[in-house]
Amino acid sequence: MTDQIPDPPPTNGRDRLRELLDAVLDDDHDTLDRMARGAHASAFHFSRQLRRHTGEPPVSMRRRVMLERAAWQISRGTSVTDAAFAAGYESVDGFSRAFSRAFGHPPSDTARDDTPAGTARGRTGHWLPAPNGVHFHPPTSLWIETRSTSSGAPVTATMVEHDLADTRALLELAEGLTSEVWHRDRGAVQPMAWSPPEPSIAALLTAHLYTKEVWLAALTGSDSPGPPPDAGEPADLLAQHRRLVPAWLSFVRDVERRDAWDDAVVDALCDPPQSFVVGGILAHVLTYAAHRRLLVRQHLRDDGITVDDGDPLQWLIDRADPGPENTDPTDADPTSPSPTESGATP
């Protein structure tokens, strides 16, 4: 006879599908009863709810996703033995049989694959067929595929490329600022209620790049950048930006190619795990990116520094008539002008 099922906690806006997936894939939930208790349901109702949402029984889903994770781990150098026990198998032989049935070859034949996780191959090469689009997403998260019927490709491309080009332009302008102007405390500007204050141009642009680093890590399965850094120097941030540009553009273009804007990522690094729609993540990044860039411009004007408006309309006009000096191949748009080229004077 099982113990009484505990009352569920307040939902606080948590969606039920995410709670069910959390219960299925929790490392400690290796039986149906434990999964159900984690979701505050009976085993019968838990199975029925998950089948209704995903079309897959909970034990089958857990087995498949754990095998996907094991395949990814082995392809990155984890031993078969370690991957087997991490996937919850009691013996390597049992794991090898299950792996071979799923992938068509034994785990020892899994090819080493250092493809960056941000590419389509690096993210999906370990996926098995699924009725619901729920897959392991490295290093510890879930990817939930959906099929979108809308496309904002031209607008998305313009906003993403403009953000990257305008960031470069502001950082290049910032290289000519004095340290006092760069680090001057202008009051406790706090773009988001839970984020640290960003009282200087240095802090705003540091947070601007850090936001992209954090989300790129969550979306591509790369290493997390860690806690927010102290305000950096313009040259260092410009180098960081140039490293970010190709990875950010590669990811966005891959999502657009697959029309995967409505896909979702369950980020297990959050406590509790949170699910985020990919299109919503991009909207979040671009919203606060524009906010920070406009704040930087206002701070510059407050110091008597003339700077352009950062208007994507003017950027597109300028890009259509490029000058010979605008040829940096590491930028989102090699032909985009900097603020000083559009009339800004420090």
Average pLDDT over residues 144-168: 78
Q: How far apart are CA 303 and CA 12, in angstroms?
A: 44
DSSP code of residue 306: B
How would residue 29 be classed by pLDDT, with cut points 50, 70 and 90? Answer: confident
- Reported as half-sphere exposure (CB side, CA atoms, 13 A), residue 135 has a value of 20
The three-state secondary structure class of 216 is: helix
Average pLDDT over residues 130-146: 80
| pLDDT at res. 268 | 66
pTM of the model: 0.63
Q: Which domains does the chain have, with CATH numbers?
A: 16-114 (1.10.10.60), 153-342 (1.20.120.450)
Distances (CA, A) of 155 to 160, 210, 246, 338: 9, 24, 19, 21
Q: How far apart are CA 331 and CA 166, in angstroms?
A: 10
Average pLDDT over residues 157-177: 93
Which amino acid, residue 99? F
Query: Which has the minimum average pLDDT: 8-12, 96-100, 216-220, 278-282?
Result: 8-12
Tokens representing 248? 């950010």
Q: How far apart are CA 23 and CA 254, in angstroms?
A: 30
DSSP string, 48-62: HHHHHHHSS-HHHHH
Tokens representing 318? 């300028």
With contact defined as beta carbons under 8 Å apart, do 211 and 167 qualify? no
Q: How far apart are CA 339 and CA 316, in angstroms?
A: 14
Which amino acid, residue 123? R
Q: Is it the case that residue 330 has pLDDT exceeding 70? A: no
Q: Is it the case that residue 202 has pLDDT exceeding 60? A: yes
